[in-house]
Amino acid sequence: MIRSFASFACVVAACMLASCGNSNNGTAADKPADTAAAVASALPDAKNFTDSLDGKTTGLFILKNRNGATAAITSYGARVVSLLVPGKNGEMTDVALGYDSVGKYIHQPETYFGAIVGRYGNRIGKGKFKLEGKEYKLATNNGPNHLHGGLKGFGAHVWDAKKVNDSTLELTYLSQDQEEGYPGNLQSKVTYTLLGDSTNCLKIEYEATTDKATVVNLTNHTYFNLNGQGSGTINNHLLQVNADKYTPVDSTLIPTGKIESVAGTPFDFRQPTAIGARIDSPNQQLKFGTGYDHNFVLNPNKGSGLNLAATVLGDQSGIFMEVLTNQPGIQFYGGNFMNGSNPLKGGKKDDHRTAFCLETQHFPDSPNEPSFPSTELKPGQQYKTTTVYRFSVKK
């Protein structure tokens, strides 16, 4: 049984370091040879990720922990390509959707699989905002609005990569002043660490500094299916979100500025609920998003450390994912716009609602909503956030 957030949050805060301890003392080599072989065969060929773009060479980097969990990350978009964790029968399951070559990330219709999105993840209304009395205009690449950094956001650039050890990868990117219309030279750094002890954790640390006042909202856009990539619907996954409130949107998916209770709505995931249980409810917000594509206002953290934002249980695999963060919001997207047009790894397809995203973040359109938590970053300040995707098994 999944425990309530009230009883679970303190346990997570106390046990976070112990249960996701540093994995440098062991690697997949400590695991049985057949497990290591299964992992190797499930990973995409690194040769397919070597290319030259904008004067930089792309690559694929493999992270491992002592439990045999494995992550494949490409420097193109600093994105997660594969994430293999054990299921209830011990089999390694790739829970992250992705392509088998860098060329597909560039040319296929869906470009956000696994990517770091920025300079501003999510939407900015009408592609404009004011900062220190000056209006800035951005690309409108999502109807009338700006989405995920614009026409060429952070996910479409090659990052400089440094593999620190078997379990840690650092990626850096300098976003130039006026890139996609944003002010300031923004130096960004993302660190992936694959931790493992009694559980397996993919820790993502975001950092940024600027030389001019700007807005920043970085997040990771991994599409998850806890039964395995391409294994069918995620509507039977059990989702729980630590949020009493959410930000309703207009017909273009921009927040109205209101913060409303989830009580009595299809957005009430305060108890574990099948993702698809209320997907067909006659609710105007669901109609606007053609399903779930909304920001949840996370309840304040009652303890120290990271806040337990959400949990998801794969109905077939038994894989249980917890999302921990120090961000104030989380965007839940239920794969509403997936239509099977993208060829995934292993010949799989991204069919309708066969993956979900849980993107930790500040709220959409915050630069235009003074009542929302600020996303402004000034010279001399450091943007720094952390998110952990933590995996265990419930049999």
pLDDT for residue 22 = 55
Q: Is 387 exposed, middle or buried (0-12, 13-18, 19+ CB in 10 A)?
A: buried
Q: For residue 304, give every residue at least 6 positions away whose Cβ sits within 8 Å of its Cβ, in sequence order, or none.
A: 13
Q: Check: CATH 2.70.98.10 for 5-393?
A: yes
CA geometry: angle at 80 spanning 184 and 50, to 5°?
85
**How many other C-beta atoms lie within 10 A of the C-beta of residue 4?**
13
Which one of 148, 157, 221, 237 is the catalytic residue? 221
**What is the pTM (predicted TM-score) of this model?**
0.93
Supply φ then ψ for residue 368, to 5 degrees.
Answer: -105, 5
Contact present, 103 and 109 (Cβ < 8 Å): no
Residue 20 has a pLDDT of: 75
372 within 8 A of 362, measured Cβ to Cβ: yes
83 vs 95, 202, 389, 390, CA distance in Å? 6, 9, 11, 12
Report the relative pairing of strands 79-86 and 92-94 from DSSP bridges.
antiparallel
Q: Give yes or no for a contact between 243 and 376, defined as CB atoms under 8 angstroms apart.
A: no
- Domain ranges in the chain are 5-393
Buried b (16+ CB within 10 A) or exposed e, 325-356: bebbbbbbbbbbebeeebebbeebebbbbbbb
Please report, in tens digits, the pLDDT of each residue of the chain (395 residues total): 344 554 444 444 434 544 676 544 444 444 555 677 778 778 999 999 999 999 999 999 999 999 999 999 999 999 999 999 999 989 999 999 999 999 999 999 999 999 999 999 999 999 999 999 999 999 999 999 999 999 999 999 999 999 999 999 999 999 999 999 999 999 999 999 999 988 999 999 999 999 999 999 999 999 999 999 999 999 999 999 999 999 999 999 999 999 999 999 999 999 999 999 999 999 999 999 999 999 999 999 888 789 999 999 999 999 999 999 999 999 999 999 999 999 999 999 999 999 999 999 999 999 999 999 999 999 999 999 999 999 999 98
DSSP helix/strand/coil, 322 = strand
What tokens appear for 137 in the block? 């205009």
Q: Which of 170, 359, 362, 369 is catalytic?
A: 359
Active site residue 221: yes
Whether 60 contacts 73, CB under 8 Å: yes
Task: Collect all residues with Cβ–Cβ distance below 8 Å to 25 and sequence separation of at least 6.
Answer: 66
